[in-house]
Amino acid sequence: MDRLLNVSSRRRALTGALAAALFSLALAGSLPRAARSAGGKCPYCNLAVLKNEPTLDNTVAMRHGANRIEYRCVYCAVAQANSDKYKGDVTILAPSEVKGKPVLLTRKADRWTAKPATAVFVAEKAHHRYCQITYRALTGRPGFDAYVKKNARLRSARPVTLAQLVQTAK
């Protein structure tokens, strides 16, 4: 009789644990979460989304409605924002030359703005595996000059405005 109770108790405990696990999985699937996380794939170019480094941020994130999507570079985010899939208002956080100080790009009523207003961009064509270097937001012309000086791939780069970047990414 003791053995029968022991088996019955184990079954109830296992059934309860299984039910709790299934409930947790169902709940987790219904909560909003990032579409792509650092280390995942960029939804535009399908290359790895790069993690932030100790001295430089790399993760580009776009907010569209309640969704937050991470990209490999600012070009990928702006190009995807220009697609038919992302109509309406969007906000893009683009890493700059200063760690922890991203450039905020917003599109409201089809009008793009950057914060800070002095922001410029590197938009130098290169193999896309280097896009985090060749497509980057910078807080202003002094930041652009210093960034270009540090990166051999950018020796001939010219600063690009937000309007030019948006046009390039169409």
DSSP state of 161: -
Domain match, 23 and 97 both: no
**Which residues share a beta bridge with 5?**
none
**How much of the chain exceeds pLDDT 90, in percent?**
57
Look up the domain containing 90 and give its range: 60-168
Residue 2 lies in a domain: yes
Domain match, 6 and 70 both: no
Domain match, 1 and 65 both: no
Domain match, 26 and 89 both: no
DSSP string, 10-68: HHHHHHHHHHHHHHHHHHHHHS---SS-TTSB-TTT-SBPPPPPSS----EEEEETTEE
Model confidence over 23-64: pLDDT tens digits? Answer: 444 434 433 333 334 558 999 999 999 989 999 899 899 999
Residue 52 lies in a domain: no
Model confidence over 117-151: pLDDT tens digits? Answer: 999 999 888 777 888 888 999 999 999 999 999 98
Residue 78 lies in a domain: yes
Domain match, 6 and 64 both: no
SS3 state of residue 112: strand
Residue 37 lies in a domain: no
Domain match, 71 and 23 both: no
Residue 140 lies in a domain: yes
What predicted TM-score, i.e. pTM, was given to this entire model?
A: 0.74
Residue 135 lies in a domain: yes
CATH number, domain containing residue 109: 3.30.450.410
Quick one: CA dihedral 112, 122, 103, 39, positive or negative?
positive
Domain match, 66 and 136 both: yes
Q: Would you state the pLDDT for residue 10?
A: 60
DSSP state of 6: H
Contact 120, 142 (CB under 8 A): no
pLDDT interval class at 6 (50, 70, 90): low
